[in-house]
Structures are given as structure tokens and as C-alpha cells.
Amino acid sequence: MNIDLLLPAIFFGLSVSGILFLVSLGISIGFGLMRIINMEQMVYYTFGAYMAYTMVSVTGSFLLGIIAGILVAAFLGFLVETQLLRRVYGKELMFTMVVTFSVFLIGIGIIQYTWGLDPKPVSSPIHTMIPILGVQMPLYRLFIIATALVVYVLIQIMLNKTIIGKAIRAGIENPDQVQGLGINIRRIFTVTFVVASGLAGLGGSLNAPLTMTGPYMGFDMLLFAFITVILGGLGSIKGTLVSALIMGQVISVGGTIWSPLAFVAPFIVMFCVILWRPTGLFGVAGKAFGFQE
Amino acid sequence: MTRLIKASYGPLVLVFFFLMARYIFPNKMTFIIELAIFSIYVMGNNILYGYLGMVSFGQPFYLGVGAYATAIYLAHIGANPLIGMLLSLAMGLVVGLILGPAFIRLRGDYFALINAATCAIGMFTIEKLLLPITRGDDGLWYRSRMSQIPFLDIRMPDKFFVFALAIFLIVLILYNFMDKSALGVSFRAIKDNENKMKFLGYDTFKIRWIGFSLASILSALAGSLYAINFGFVNPSLAEPHRAAEVLVATLIGGAGTVFGPFFGTLAFLGIKDLVSRYIAHWELAVGILTLLVLFRFSKGIWGNTEAIINEKIGRKKNRTMEKLLTDKAAT
């Protein structure tokens, strides 16, 4: 493999990382804070992508599509959290997994019902190419990378500087203690969940021009997102960012070396991580992490 | 022996209904055959989810192993479907025994995900790495190569129906027998409270391993039956996406019951058949039904029916478990 192919692959990998980071944040936080495995995050991702498609084909404005994607995803997240997930907090992990998985199935069903089974193409809103280090790079992918970085910085600021962010961090450590301090942890859960699902919607609408928007697009992304979260360590946002960067490169560079690797290489990474380092890169071994007690 | 005979009453009744259905709806033959095969597949998953409480998102892999073991044998080596089936069973056992120790010590969610990863990697191996043997996406075709087995020409659908039903009956009787045996009771006890089980001196790791291997064997058997039934196999049989189907069927029917898998399969395949005729796909209806089962009828279709029947007859539930525990306490 020559260097001409390697550099674009790395840049493309960065944009894949951006998407992965946005969509897997919800799973990571959901596990760290609420102790549930929310597989239905990918519903918001798929809805985001479909909103982008609808807005682009109706109004022609991609920006509107992104906004609609975020809003719809956040609203769906609010609905699911307040109506359903409240009943599963504190239940065993397997139960939450199955419940959220059936929500995921319902979401797929609604999408099939609304938009049909055929994949919908969304054309890229920006066609400009920008030369970086002698490589022609689509501006749109740079835009994705920049968005993901901005989101990361905003989340760090929110977690470290605001009261609600501090409450979230404390909640990840010990939810009961936070409740004992007189903070309404349930409201914190809702806020976090809505933000996370909004970000998944953002990821979906950003990813719509890069992939085919279809009802099953969430399935592949679900597995990739879980690999990202597990590699980074459940509940760690920094870990999610780092592992998203790694996974983006694994997918992109691996796919450049031999195209089927783009699909299977992440699974090989997941296989090795679970067997040899189940806490992930930044995970902490404790009561919620790693092997069975 | 008497227990084995006792265990065969229920399955015989079920098979009788199968035969009735076969003659009442003669044009629904493919559906009824698939019902029998898929039930075996769901039974395998039921051991994992219903008895041991482990969710697996990679069951299609074990199905694929069985299907491809039979298919490769029939397409390249021999012609006797029965030997292909035995090979599938052996492959299922080997895969279960090898992967088991590495997987079952993991916590629930990791167990589910590593199975998904195994499924993706395994199907990739079959599709891309073993391309000369499996012919990748095109699939293997071997219907014309299959020979008939003694007494039955299972290349004919109505003869294959008898064959599949016979296998289903045997599996179901053994399954019912296992449910009442010490093994089934210890499976359930592990799900209830593993620490207590350990404390009582049972090697829970070994019991889980047995359960995992059994699940793998049953899935491989179902895969093998699919392979013989269709006369060809391609990777779409075992796509990672299809992991949802078997899980959902287990849940709907009643996790951890003997006849739950059959009723779950009936409901699932029935919904799939009916809904896809009117709406585009089955996910919406099945998802809502699953949520309903999870929150309202936690025992599933058969579990709730069984509870009603038991109440009517006044039979004490969990009699075997109590007996076992008192025996253990006495010694």
C-alpha cells in the first residue's frame, strides 16, 4: 500500500471517528449514569438520518435537516426516557438490554412504515474539495470532524463547569449519594438522555450523505458503537473519544488495505478487547465494570 | 425410563397437533416445516436465555456453523444427509466446547456482544476466507447430489416433513426430560442465585458450559435441518442482523419453559407471515408484543398458560426443585 492512499484513509477515518463519537456517547453515558444498556440509541441515529433526507428532499436545505434531526431525536429520546426507561432503572442489565432492544425494533418498524424499505440517497451538501498535505479532502468530512470536536469541548465544559454537569459526574460515581444531597437524579437522567439522543440524531443526520439511509442502518452502527464504547471503557467520555479515534482508523485504514476488513476488523478488535481487557482503555474496574463479581 | 416416558406425553400431544395442522392446512407445508426447525433453534436459545439468563446476540453463528457443516459435506464430499447432520451436531458440540470457557465467564452484556462479534467474524470467515469452499455470497447448491436415506426420500417436502417432525419430537422429549432432570433444575437455580449454587458446592462454571454447548448443538441441528430442507445455503441465513429473531421468539413464547419455544416460534413466524402480507415488515408488531410480554406477561405465552393450567389442576409448581434441595440438605 502506498502513501498516496494512506493519507486520505487517515483523514476519512477521522470523519468516521467523528460520527462514531457522536452516536456512542449516549450508550456510554447511559451505562455510566443510569446503569442501563440502551440499544435504542440507534433509533435516534436512524431518525436523524431520515430527517436529513426528508428536509433535503422537501426544502433543499441540509442545515435544516441537521436541526430537524437533532430536535426529532431529542424529542424521541425524551418520550422514551420518560415513558419507558423510568420503569427499568435499577432492574438487572439483561432486562434493560432486552427492553431497549425491543424499542429499537419498534423504531425500525416505524421507519419502515413511514419511509418504506428502500434505501434513500442523500446528496452531500458541500462538494468543495480542500487540499491538505497534498491530499484532496472533501470539506464536508472536515466539517464532521470539526463538529465532533466542538461537541466534545462543549460536553467537557458542561461537565466540568456547570452545576448540572457536576451532578451528572457525581451521578456516574454514585447515584444514591446524589439523590441524598437533594438533587433530583431522575431529572438529571432525563436531561442527560435527551442531550445524548440529540447528539445521536446529529450523528445520524451528519452521516446521511456518507452512507445509504436505510431502515437497517442502525444495526451496523449499533455494533460499531458498542465496540467503540467497550474499547473506551463504559461510562468514560474521554475514553469514548479516544476509542472513536482508534476505531475510525481501524475501519478506514483497514478498509483501504483490504475492503472486507472495513466491516470485520472492528469486530476482531471487540473480540480481543472483551477477552483480554474487558474494562476497556479508560474504564475502571469496579462494581459496575468488567467481569462478574 | 419411566421419567423419559412421562416426559414424552406433552411432546406427543404437540406432535399430534402438528399432524392435524398438516392435514387441515395442506398448502401451509413450508410454514409448518419451518415451525418445527425454528422451534429447535429457539429451544437452543431458550437454554441460554430462559434457563441460564444469558442473552446472546450471536445465535445465527451457531446456526450457520450447522448449516455450513451439512452443506459443505453434501456439496463436496458425500451424499448422505444423515451423515451431514451428524457432522453438524459434532461441529456444534466442538464450537460450544471451544468457545464456551472463554465466553461464559464474561458478564451478561459482554457475553451478548462477544457473541455478536463471533457471529460477524465467523460469517466473514465463511463468506470471504473460505470462498473456494463455500462460494461466498452465491451459496452452495447440492439438492441434486443428496441421496435418499433408508425408508424416507427426504428430498420430497412431504417426506421431509415427517423427518423434521421426528427430529423435533425426539429433541422435544429430551428437552422435556432435561427440564425435569437435575441439570434443568440447576440451570434455573443458577439464574436465580448463582452464589447460592456455588455455596451449595455445585461447579456453576461447568453447568454453564454444558448449557452453552447444548445451545450450540441445538442451533447447529436446526441449521443442518435448514440446509437439508432448502437444498442450498448462503450467508444470509446467518447474518448478525438476524440475532433478533430468535431472541424475540424466545421471549414471546415464555423464557425458561419447555413448550415456550414452540409457542414463541408459532407467534413469531405467524406474525411475520401475517404482518408482512399487510404492512411492510414485522419489526413493529414484534417489538410491541415483546414490550408487552416484558412488562405485563413476564412469563410469555406458554408460561402464563401453564400457570393457569397448573392453578386449575392444583399441582404444586417447582416440585422437583424442592425435592432436589431437600435431598441436598439431607445429605
Helices (H), chain A: 3-34, 41-58, 62-83, 93-115, 139-161, 163-173, 175-180, 185-207, 217-232, 237-257, 261-276
Segment B97-150, tens digit of pLDDT? 998 888 888 777 788 888 888 888 888 888 877 777 778 777 777 777 777 776
The three three-digit cell numbers of residue A257, written as one number: 488495505
B317 part of a folded domain: no
Please tell me which of the candidates B112, B288, B290 has its beta carbon nearest to residue A97: B112
| pLDDT given at position B219 | 92
- Model confidence at B331, pLDDT cuts 50, 70, 90, reads low
With contact defined as beta carbons under 8 Å apart, do A231 and A246 qualify? yes
In a domain, B201, yes or no: yes
Determine contact, residues A137/A127, Cβ cutoff 8 Å. no
- Please indicate if any CB of chain B lies within 8 Å of the CB of A286: no
Please check whether residue A1 lies inside any domain of the structure. Answer: no
Contacts of B110 in chain A (CB under 8 A): 230, 274, 278
For chain B, the C-alpha Rg in angstroms (whole number) is: 20
Provide ipTM, 2 decimals. Answer: 0.79
pLDDT tens sequence across B252-264 = 888 888 888 888 8
Nearest to residue B289, comparing CAs of A17, A109, A60? A109
B292 grid coordinates:
408487552
Terminal-to-terminal C-alpha distance of chain B: 25
Q: Which residue has the cell 441460554?
A: B48
3-state class of B1 per DSSP?
coil
* B110 part of contact set with chain A, CB < 8 Å: yes
Task: Please state, in angstroms and rounded to a whole number, the distance separating the CA atoms of residues A97 and A100.
Answer: 5
> What's the confidence (pLDDT) of residue A290?
34
Residue A277 placed within a domain: no
- Note down pLDDT in tens along chain A; length 293 residues: 567 777 788 888 888 899 999 888 888 888 877 778 888 888 899 998 898 888 888 887 888 888 888 999 999 989 888 888 888 887 777 788 888 888 888 888 888 888 877 888 877 777 777 777 777 778 888 888 898 899 989 988 888 888 888 888 787 777 778 888 888 888 888 888 898 899 899 998 888 888 888 888 888 788 888 888 888 877 778 888 888 998 888 888 888 888 778 788 888 888 888 787 777 777 655 444 333 33
B106, B279, B283 ranked by CB distance to A274: nearest: B106
Nearest CA in chain A to B298: A95
Spell out a b/e string for A161-198, using b for 16 or more CB atoms within 10 Å of the CB, else e.
eeeebebbebbbeebeebeeeebebeebbbebbbbbbb
> Is A180 a domain residue?
yes
Helix-, strand-, coil-residue percentages of chain B, each rounded to 5: 80, 0, 20
Greatest pairwise CA separation for chain B in angstroms = 61
Q: A87, B112: Cβ pair inside 8 Å?
A: no
Number of structural domains chain B divides into: 1
Tell me which residue range forms the domain holding A57. Answer: 14-118+130-216
Which range of residues forms the domain containing residue B208? 2-241
Residue A241 falls within a domain, yes or no? no
pTM (predicted TM-score): 0.84
pLDDT, residue A178, reads: 80
Domains: count for chain A = 1
CB contact under 8 A, B284 and A216: no
The amino acid that residue A47 corresponds to is F
Q: How near does any CA of chain A get to the CA of B241, in Å? A: 7
User: Is residue B77 domain-resident?
Assistant: yes
Q: Which of B113, B210, B289 is nearest to A274 (CA)?
A: B113
B118/A contact by beta carbon, under 8 A: yes
Residue type, A6: L
Q: B57 lies in a domain?
A: yes
Q: What is the CA radius of gyration of chain A?
A: 19
Whether residue B264 lies inside any domain: the answer is no
Residue A125 lies in a domain: no
Q: Which of B72, B79, B68 is nearest to B146 (CA)?
A: B79
Q: What is the mean pLDDT of chain B?
A: 82
- The reply to whether B207 falls in a domain is yes
